[in-house]
Amino acid sequence: MHYAMNQKPSHVAGIKEIARALDISIGTVDRALHARAGVSHSTRDRVLKMAKKLNYRPNVAARNLKLNHRLKVGVFLPEQIALFYDRVREGIRAACATESGIGVDLVFHSFPRLGEGESNAIEKAGWQQFDGIIIAPGNSAELGPIFSKFEGQHKPVIFVTTDAARLPRLASITTDETASGGIAADLLGRVISSPAKVATITGDLRIQGHAEKLRGFAASLATLSPHLSLLPAIEAHESPADAYNAAVDLIKKHPDLGALYVSTANSLPVLLALEENGYLGKVLVITTDLFPELVPFIENGKVFASLYQRPFAQGKTAFEMLIRFLATRVAPKQITRLAPHIVLRSNLSLFINLVYNDDSSSLSI
Amino acid sequence: MHYAMNQKPSHVAGIKEIARALDISIGTVDRALHARAGVSHSTRDRVLKMAKKLNYRPNVAARNLKLNHRLKVGVFLPEQIALFYDRVREGIRAACATESGIGVDLVFHSFPRLGEGESNAIEKAGWQQFDGIIIAPGNSAELGPIFSKFEGQHKPVIFVTTDAARLPRLASITTDETASGGIAADLLGRVISSPAKVATITGDLRIQGHAEKLRGFAASLATLSPHLSLLPAIEAHESPADAYNAAVDLIKKHPDLGALYVSTANSLPVLLALEENGYLGKVLVITTDLFPELVPFIENGKVFASLYQRPFAQGKTAFEMLIRFLATRVAPKQITRLAPHIVLRSNLSLFINLVYNDDSSSLSI
DNA sequence: TTGAAAGCGCTACCAC
DNA sequence: GTGGTAGCGCTTTCAA
């Protein structure tokens, strides 16, 4: 028994065959197909109809050869946290390497940290030169005018790793932050069955993603794990010292703390504080992202889970979208939210190798 | 403060410039670069050296235009389970659509179910015609000779969704089955803190993936969750009736059953059996994959988690690898194991929309 | 062993 | 408004 589903049996035609069929020149056919000036309405209609009839497919290779335009893509990402953003860069590079059609020039620019010096970097880089831009936008409103102008020129901007809904952009790729928070609350509620106090340590609630995670966490906790009571959120502003002190404070104030959700990558000082005070292993901890220092904590079960934001996949997706738009001018879905990966000690090895050893081919994370 | 990391400042040369630099014809340069017959050793060396010096990059568009060879890719997947394999097909189609360089003809063929009628389908489809093949290989040894011959012609075969290490193949893409099993055991052990009995229902232990999941489950249970005792594995052979009966049997024999891991997509009859006997909600259940009927069980928490095998990502990856190989003849990593997604009620929505509503652009699952 | 040249399908320019 | 044609970078054939 076998079933065939051949679906491209039909001959695909080129510009020449349309011309021959209509007994006109290929120049005219080209003008008609591309809605260029200098074609009568009637011939244009005839051409378009014939194109459909003969199943016209433009030959991308020929077009690229003729136009021979290399695309210039500017990538603007923070230096910190390097392990995270380097992985985004790797995803972009990997996607670029697979690109067989158009030639793409990648230009990487960095700025110190998220929301710090980005517009400066863009200005200095001469953003006018780029056909498209990939960027992690901070909350700085300075970016608005630049991107508005960029859009005015029909040049695409794609946001990665963090979104800024108020800024004009072609598309944004992030993990689903609301879901991240929700997963954390869901898991904690499953593992802890009796009433307990839960704390959260975040970065800065003015950053869209950080706020979303917390909203997701609170909402999920209320509906799925109502036996857990949420303490007020603590903002550590990505500062290790602040995080450490906040954690020490926390366990002093709430010695009966049951669980803790650290919603940014700034979890190491928190774990240290717990360890030094004998709370590591007693408090159920869920962290965010993955880096070498976190690995042993997951391995020995002191950190129950970490929510991995898939930097490689984000970079790869962003680049693919950008190129696709540049090639076809068809707008992609504006908002893409990747599912974060839940890293446990049982699947840790799947993610950890990739942090060091990049095979560049896969979207496995 | 801004940091620039321009990395492609160097001019890339074409065949012409090499010819001009060496004062020879472009024909000779081409022959030398491609190690074709009819070039003296000395000139070949000179050409290769100059190519490196001038940073030669072949123009893919021009090459494709000239050669104008459309690639023909054969895809052989089971009909059952349609929701799963259709999603693999979508991933393949999506990747094909992004392919801007070479023209690719996709030809889809189906056979009733995994391991049933595949070699027949391949024979009937005239496998000789394909430049490459993507297939879900059953355990039938009949495939061996075909693929050996295929390899002999330097034609690539890529396995998706299930591997068969004994068969010759260019690459295989599956989820990490060992990790899947491990995750299930890990999660169950975290949620159930006191000693309990755990059962597993699988398909057929002769299928590599099914056995691997079980091995992973057992290993993880022993090391991470030693308070859980594993009952002998039950094989349901993907038959709904068998699965139903086995589940009824199971709860009769072990009324104190604590947890259950269904390691194939055949979970519905099991859930039915549990429900009818008042065990749903009492036994902690982890299932595999995702389909509409399973959704309400996850939503209301009766199924704790389901391990999603990312069919879309598998299809997309397989196609990308195949094309990359066909274009460059560089062998990809032979074994790729994607991280399965852990689907909970808190992140269910991220996966569920994609089951029905395909945006074809993303590797979000 | 090498050179010369045709031509892949398309775009863009010039002539009518 | 339309036709004709050069040429993008490469492969390949034919001639030398």
How far apart are alpha carbons B310 and B175 in whole angstroms? 8
For chain A of 365 residues, list the mean pLDDT of each consecutive stretch of 10. Answer: 45 90 94 90 92 89 85 92 92 85 86 87 88 88 82 88 91 96 98 97 90 97 96 94 97 97 96 97 97 96 97 95 86 94 96 52 37
Looking at residue B361, what is its pLDDT? 34
Return the HEC string of chain A. Answer: CCEEEECCCCCCECHHHHHHHHCCCHHHHHHHHCCCCCCCHHHHHHHHHHHHHCCECCCHHHHHHHHCCCEEEEEEEEEECHHHHHHHHHHHHHHHHHCCCCCEEEEEEEEEECCECHHHHHHHHCHHHCCEEEECCCCCCCHHHHHHHHHHCCCCEEEECCCCCCCCCCEEEEECHHHHHHHHHHHHHHHCCCCEEEEEEECCCCCHHHHHHHHHHHHHHHHHCCCEEECCCEECCCCHHHHHHHHHHHHHHCCCEEEEEECCCCCHHHHHHHHHCCCECCEEEEEECCCHHHHHHHHCCCCCEEEECCHHHHHHHHHHHHHHHHHHCCCCCCEEEECCEEECCCCHHHHHHHHHCCCCCCCCC
Looking at residue A101, what is its pLDDT? 66
Cβ-defined contact of A344 to B124 (cutoff 8 Å): no
Structure tokens, B76: 């052989």
Looking at residue A10, what is its pLDDT? 63
Residue A101 is nearest to which of B1, B61, B341, comparing CB atoms?
A: B61
Residues of chain A with C-beta less than 8 angstroms from the C-beta of B350? 176, 179, 337, 339
Residue A113: strand pairing partners: A80, A116
Separation between the CA of B59 and the C1’ of C14 (whole angstroms): 29
Are A309 and A291 within 8 A, CB to CB?
Answer: no
pLDDT tens-digit map of B185-244: 999 999 999 999 999 999 999 888 999 999 999 999 999 999 999 999 999 988 899 999
Lowest mean pLDDT among A217-231, B175-189, B304-318, B344-358: B344-358
Looking at residue A264, what is its pLDDT? 94
Residue B346 is nearest to which of A6, A224, A317, comparing CB atoms?
A: A224
Domain ranges of chain A: 15-57, 69-174+311-338, 177-308
Residues 2-41 of A with CB under 7 A from strand C: 14-16, 26-27, 30, 33-34
Cβ-defined contact of B333 to A362 (cutoff 8 Å): yes
- The percent of residues in chain B predicted with pLDDT above 90, rounded, is 66
Are B339 and B182 within 8 A, CB to CB?
Answer: no
Residue B347 is nearest to which of A112, A183, A347, comparing CB atoms?
A: A183
CA distance B48 to chain A (A): 22
Question: What is the fold of B15-57?
Answer: 434 Repressor (Amino-terminal Domain) (1.10.260)
B235-B240-B245 Cα angle (round to 5) = 65
Residue B53: partners with Cβ closer than 8 Å, 6 or more residues away: none
Return the closest nucleotide (C1') to the Cα of A41. Answer: D1
- The answer to whether A25 CB is within 7 Å of strand D is yes
Q: How many residues does chain A have?
A: 365
Residue B103 has pLDDT above 50, yes or no: yes
- Strand C positions closer than 7 A to protein CB: 1-5, 7-14
Please, which pLDDT band fits residue B3 given cuts at 50, 70 and 90? Answer: very low
Structure tokens, B48: 């290769």
Residues of chain B with C-beta less than 8 angstroms from the C-beta of A190? 190-191, 304
Residue B252: how many other CB atoms lie within 10 Å: 9
Return the closest nucleotide (C1') to the Cα of B65. Answer: C8
Residue B286 has pLDDT above 50, yes or no: yes
- The percent of residues in chain B predicted with pLDDT above 70, rounded, is 93
Return the closest nucleotide (C1') to the Cα of B37. Answer: C1
Looking at residue A362, what is its pLDDT? 37
Residue B183 is nearest to which of A121, A323, A347, comparing CB atoms?
A: A347
> What is the average per-residue pLDDT within B28-45?
91
pLDDT tens-digit map of B107-121: 999 999 888 888 889
Return the closest nucleotide (C1') to the Cα of B27. Answer: C3
Q: What is the amino acid identity at position B201?
A: I
Cβ-defined contact of B346 to A186 (cutoff 8 Å): yes
Question: For domain B69-174+311-338, which CATH number applies: 3.40.50.1260, 3.30.9.10, 3.90.1150.10, 3.40.50.2300?
Answer: 3.40.50.2300
Residue whose structure tokens are 């995750």: B183
Equal fold, B15-57 vs B69-174+311-338: no
Please, which pLDDT band fits residue B8 given cuts at 50, 70 and 90? Answer: very low
Looking at residue A326, what is its pLDDT? 86
Pairing of strands A305-308, A341-343: antiparallel
Cβ-defined contact of B101 to A61 (cutoff 8 Å): yes
Looking at residue B354, what is its pLDDT? 56
Residue B141: how many other CB atoms lie within 10 Å: 11
Cβ-defined contact of B337 to A364 (cutoff 8 Å): yes
Residues of chain A with C-beta less than 8 angstroms from the C-beta of B349? 179
Are A318 and A173 within 8 A, CB to CB?
Answer: yes
- The answer to whether B27 CB is within 7 Å of strand C is yes
Give me chain B's average pLDDT, please: 89
Residues of chain B with C-beta less than 8 angstroms from the C-beta of A258? none
Instruction: Kindly report the CATH class assigned to A177-308.
Output: alpha beta
Residue B32 has pLDDT above 70, yes or no: yes
Residue B153 has pLDDT above 80, yes or no: no
Question: pTM for this structure?
Answer: 0.88
B12 or A291: whose pLDDT is higher? Answer: A291
